[in-house]
Structure 1
Amino acid sequence: MTITQLQYVLAVAEYRNFTLAAEKSFVTQPTLSMQIQKVEEELGILIFDRSKKPIQLTDIGHKIVAQAKSIVNEAGRIKDIVDQEKGFIGGEFRLGIIPTVMPTLLPMFLTNFTRKYPKVRLLIEELNTQEIITRLNNGHLDAAIAATPLDEEKIKEIVLYYEPFVAYVPENHSNFNKKEILVDDLNPDEILLLRDGHCFRDSVLNLCNISTPKNSKFQIESGSFETLIKLADEGLGTTLLPYLHTLDLKEKDQQKLRHFQDPKPSREVSLIFPKSELKMHIIEALRSTIAGVIRGAVVFQNVAIVSPNQKK
């Protein structure tokens, strides 16, 4: 059997559909089906149960797919070894970034990185944390930038920086006259949140030690910090923002920001990647570039990390 045949097996295992797997593999469906059939005939077993819709893996098929992932990853490592030996940093690199980090961090490092490593073709996608984990595990991302710790068995994390939470408090709120606030000063029932699926939302809920918002009058969830700020200005509550996001606010809005007392509740932002450590030379180049630009922007040391993991 060949590496290409194993890649076809992995595609069908992921998409559970021969036609879609062929499309994603850039081959015709008959070609893909024939190659998988050759693997099954060579091994004398069935990897897929074609009688079910969607297609399911057989018991032995699960074991074969797990081994195929390992083989395909190790085959990819050969090119990594050669590239590193030659000192070559280039090629396609697929990077995922969570929505609450992308708008602030990406403009800070992208120009520097592309100038320093012009042979790297970055393919960047804005994805939520669960999508990132799934794509890293399926081999569809080389690395990602997300809030950590994630405690994922197959994923490694390198911390990039710690980013404090900052409260946005409208003028008519009782916390407005305080220079700094405590977590206990927050009223969980009035905090305006990002919609479900954002890890920043989960971190805020964890910070307030609640599993769901309990506002009895209304429940507003948005995918935009800008919307939450406008709602707070209308007297509908308060909200929490990541520190880097506050740097771009207008001066009149910055006057409504209230920092927490030390240790400041913060999120940990990390570069994450599969434990197979493919393309580590590019991952290290990315880490080094981000570290160079972020060092002067986020200098907080006395912080308390708030987990992004949802409470069960």
Structure 2
Amino acid sequence: MTITQLYYVLAVAENKNFTLAAEKCFVTQPTLSMQIQKLEDELGILIFDRSKKPIQLTEIGQKIVSQAKNIVNESGRIKDIVDQQKGYIGGEFKLGIIPTIMPTLLPMFLNNFIKKYPKLKLIIEEQNTEDIILKLKNGHLDAAIAATPLEDDHIKEMVLYYEPFVAYIPENHHNFGKEKIDIQDLDIDDILLLQDGHCFRDGILNLCKTQHDSKSPNFQLESGSFETLIKLADEGLGTTLLPYLHTLDLREKDKIKLRHFNDPAPARQVSLIYPKSELKLHIIEALRSTIAGVVKGAIAFHNVQIISPISKSTKA
């Protein structure tokens, strides 16, 4: 039995296809199939039921895959231990970032980080939270930056900062004249939202409690970008909420439409998240240190109320 054989088994279990698994492992399909066959012969069992389409794990195969994940993860610790002992930060590191954080946070730290650690090949993917969690569990990401807490027993969270929600209120809106607003001033029927799948959207839904019976609006719109929501708000179609860092780059004429919340301000908790295996933890810590160094000058809010990014339906 070899680590490589177990790695191939995990690839087939995930992709449910020998050809696709071989492509992901950068080997030929006959090579991958032969190695898995050798392992099955050695153990005297079948890991996969090849008669089904797509390929399914046998009952014993499910138990083997569960143990194989532990073994492959633990084998990765050996190189990790050596790298940490040497203080070496290099090789490949795959980082996921959710869409509502990527545009504002990435430019703040990326240049500093790659200059400080030139031997590290940083591969960055923009993914929603659900896909990030799946990729972390399957070993396709080393870490990610997302809104937390996620309440997932398989994921560890390292808090980076707390980012307040800021209301964008056009001049013709009844809340425009207020210097600051309260959560009770919000009406979910009046707020333009991001598309389903964005955790920032779920945070707003968790934050807002409609103060009266919901009306049926004459239109319903959800967008994938804050810029579109801002333009629609300016057209008098409602208000929207923005993450604080996103407001820093607004034009001065748009900044007068921003309204902060009275303390404790609703905020999202932004964290580095990574698998409980804690592989490449020294690189994760280097990333945390770099981000903390640049963000602390931009965000100095302390009295905040953390709003969960998990949709209420998911929590229930």
> TM tier, shorter chain?
over 0.9
Deviation at 1:58, TM superposition (A): 1.0
Determine whether 1:207 maps to 2:181.
no
- Name the counterpart of 2:274: 273
Task: Measure the CA separation in 1 of the matches of 2:60 and 2:190.
Answer: 52
- Mapping of residues 1-312 of structure 1, within 5 Å: 1-209=1-209, 215-312=216-313
Task: Measure the CA separation in 1 of the matches of 2:251 and 2:263.
Answer: 25
Task: Measure the CA separation in 2 of the matches of 1:134 and 1:203.
Answer: 20
Task: Report Cα offsets for 1:183-223 as digits up to 9, x if no partner.
Answer: 1101110110000110000000000147xx96531110000
Is the 8 Å Cα contact of residues 168 and 240 (structure 2) preserved in structure 1?
Answer: yes
Matched residue SS, 1:167: strand
Task: Report Cα offsets for 1:133-163 as digits up to 9, x if no partner.
Answer: 0000000000000000001111000000000
Is the 8 Å Cα contact of residues 149 and 308 (structure 1) preserved in structure 2?
Answer: yes
Letter in 1 for 2:27: V
Aligned residue pairs, count: 310
Is the 8 Å Cα contact of residues 166 and 241 (structure 2) preserved in structure 1?
Answer: yes
Is the 8 Å Cα contact of residues 187 and 209 (structure 2) preserved in structure 1?
Answer: no
How much identity, in percent, do the aligned residues show?
Answer: 77
Deviation at 1:241, TM superposition (A): 0.2
Letter in 1 for 2:228: T
Task: Measure the CA separation in 1 of the matches of 2:101 and 2:12.
Answer: 33
Letter in 2 for 1:231: L
Matched residue SS, 1:164: strand
Is the 8 Å Cα contact of residues 190 and 215 (structure 1) preserved in structure 2?
Answer: no
Task: Measure the CA separation in 2 of the matches of 1:215 and 1:206.
Answer: 20
Task: Measure the CA separation in 2 of the matches of 1:106 and 1:142.
Answer: 17
Task: Measure the CA separation in 1 of the matches of 2:52 and 2:35.
Answer: 20
Distance change (3 Å), C-alpha of 1:214 and 1:17: farther
Task: Measure the CA separation in 2 of the matches of 1:65 and 1:219.
Answer: 45
Task: Measure the CA separation in 2 of the matches of 1:168 and 1:60.
Answer: 56
Task: Measure the CA separation in 1 of the matches of 2:221 and 2:203.
Answer: 17
Matched residue SS, 1:307: coil
Is the 8 Å Cα contact of residues 188 and 214 (structure 1) preserved in structure 2?
Answer: no
Task: Report Cα offsets for 1:16-44 as digits up to 9, x if no partner.
Answer: 01110011111111111111111111111
Matched residue SS, 2:70: helix
Task: Measure the CA separation in 1 of the matches of 2:264 and 2:59.
Answer: 51
What's the C-alpha RMSD, in Å, of the aligned pairs?
1.0
Task: Measure the CA separation in 1 of the matches of 2:217 and 2:39.
Answer: 59
Task: Report Cα offsets for 1:38-83 as digits up to 9, x if no partner.
Answer: 1111111111111111111111111100110110011110001111
Task: Measure the CA separation in 1 of the matches of 2:13 and 2:129.
Answer: 22
Task: Measure the CA separation in 1 of the matches of 2:79 and 2:220.
Answer: 52
Structure 1: gaps of 5 or more residues: none
Structure 2: gaps of 5 or more residues: none
Task: Measure the CA separation in 2 of the matches of 1:36 and 1:217.
Answer: 59
Deviation at 1:115, TM superposition (A): 1.1
Is the 8 Å Cα contact of residues 164 and 266 (structure 1) preserved in structure 2?
Answer: yes
TM-score (norm 1): 0.98
TM-score (norm 2): 0.97
